[in-house]
Amino acid sequence: MYKEIILGIDPGFGRVGYGIITKDKQGEWRSLCYGCIETAPKSSFVDRIAEIHKELLQIIAKFKPTRMAVEELFFFKNLKTAIEVGQARGVILLTGVESKLPIDEFTPLQVKQAVTGYGRAEKGQMQKIVATILGIKEKIKSDDAADALAVALCAGQSLWIKKIKL
């Protein structure tokens, strides 16, 4: 039996949220792992994106996801930050391509709509729903990790819809 394992990513360069989900025997999505890749602020930008690449490869090697889902960039007030996050996102996507993973991309609006049914859901609301759906008892401490789990759930929901249409 084919088992779907989805790696969700909330891109950044100081902190990259990741969440890995799969279905349990009852067909419910469950979290295998979640957290953040954090890079040192005093390191050069090039060293930081190299670190993201290296750590992401380790996560992929350990959990062997069958696909990757990455949140698209939405809005930034600071152009320099937007460019750096965009470059880090490029490294993240390339890492997925190198690892031969199918990649899904979703806007924050699509993620919120898929997870809560409401595209303008608040962060706290999203975190509670994500934890409930995935059976996570403790509070997800990192917003980035919670967002990554939500992106993974959105991909899972998208796969389910695609299967229904087939």
Active-site residue numbers? 10, 71, 144
> Using an 8 Å Cβ cutoff, are 146 and 21 in contact?
no
71 known ligand binder: yes
Residue 40 burial class via C-beta count within 10 angstroms: exposed 0-12, middle 13-18, buried 19 and up = exposed
Rounded CA gap, 155 and 32, in Å? 15
24 known ligand binder: no
147 known ligand binder: no
Cα 115 to Cα 46, 55, 87, 121, distances in angstroms: 34, 27, 27, 9
Q: Which residues are annotated as a binding site for Mg(2+)?
A: 10, 71, 144
Known binding-site residues equal 10, 71, 144
